[in-house]
Amino acid sequence: MNKGWEHWSEQEVNAFQTDFLTWYQQEKRNLPWRYNQDPYRIWISEIMLQQTRVDTVIDYFYRFMEEFPTIQNLADAPEDKLLKVWEGLGYYSRARNLQAAAKQIVTEFGGKFPTTVEQIRSLKGIGPYTAGAISSIAFEIPEPAIDGNVMRVVSRLFCIEADIAKASSRNEFDEAMRKIISQDQPGDFNQAMMDLGSSICTPTNPQCEICPIQKYCQAYRENRQTAFPIKSKKQKPKDVYYIAGIIENKQQEILLQKRAESGLLAKMWLFPLEEVTEVRFNELKNQYDPAAWDLFSSTQVAEDSPDFFAEEAIVWQKKVLGEVKHVFSHLRWHILVFYGRSAAPLTLKGDWVKPAEFSKYVFPKPQQKMLEVFENNLADDKD
């Protein structure tokens, strides 16, 4: 096992830190959560940045802080309001964990954000990376914040051959980071690592010619930059197939259904979904040509109307409004969107909602995509 950091002298570590932090002060990104060391703002930003691009997070961060400027505001917020503000960011368990942790802070820490690594780690939804980021940036504790960017930088810096996809490898990166992290400016050091990994030491085509730590990098010296990090391939997400029903009643209301209390997209609202086999999905897709009918034409109804949701009093339009695809970490949803009208009460449970009232409901990304398909068809019908 290569542990190149063990061979760095104190003088070499100091020189590395000086060069790296000087670069950071000159080139650091101007981000709204970096204006001060408020642990609440840092916490919110770090949770939002998980699995999400920085440029996407910025607007959400501003809206979130406007709606919930304090820990107490977040703890007291109705969940539907919280999820509405979060809508579109995905991974909604992050928002629920934020609120659960806010309530912890109120009850266990008197409403004040905890100040030690151990206390921060005790909060719901906070793991080693987030605890390291908050404690170093807000409280100047020399705690590493190790994410994918940092592992990439450090693996190249020392030619670490540990597989970053394995949880057991984190110990090696933690050991390396504790050797090189600045004791005086740990927050800036961790943020410098984040910025370097996102802008220069990128997964492909790293810009080594402008890298501030080039002369310290073992992979650069050996011309093996693209060999690191070592990462085994993730298992491909499982394909799941659905029919979505946009069902309208005589009052021009649309049926929405709320997901279960737990699980994927918990407590969120979608058009009714029916899971089908891949074979059935493709049969329907090929049978009902999207170009076959105008959306509200009286000629669209026929005896061979689609037979899904067959037990319900719904007349389905003989066309596919569109196909929606959405990838979760472990699942890939394929959804065919159909439109139907109901003149009688249904046994399907849900809320009948005017489209003008949709903004009051929390829609996950798949629902937003289905709604866009529907609205595009309405627009086409009016042309």
Based on the residue annotation, tell me whether 172 is a catalytic residue of this protein: no
Distance CA 151, CA 131 (A): 16
Q: How many CB atoms lie within 10 A of CB 360?
A: 10
Q: Which two tokens stand for residue 250?
A: 């005589």
Distance CA 253, CA 217 (A): 62
Q: Give long-range contacts, CB 8 A cutoff, 24+ apart: 329-333.
A: 329/237, 330/235, 330/237, 330/238, 331/237, 331/238, 331/239, 331/240, 331/264, 332/237, 332/238, 332/239, 332/240, 333/240, 333/242, 333/366
Distance CA 270, CA 160 (A): 45
Q: How many CB atoms lie within 10 A of CB 9?
A: 8
CA dihedral of residues 223, 226, 232, 237 (deg, nearest 10): 180
Nearest to 243 by CA among 269, 294, 282, 300: 282
Angle at 220 between CA 219 and CA 221, to 5 degrees: 90
Distance CA 368, CA 97 (A): 23
Among 6, 12, 46, 303, the active-site one is 46
Write out the catalytic residue numbers.
46
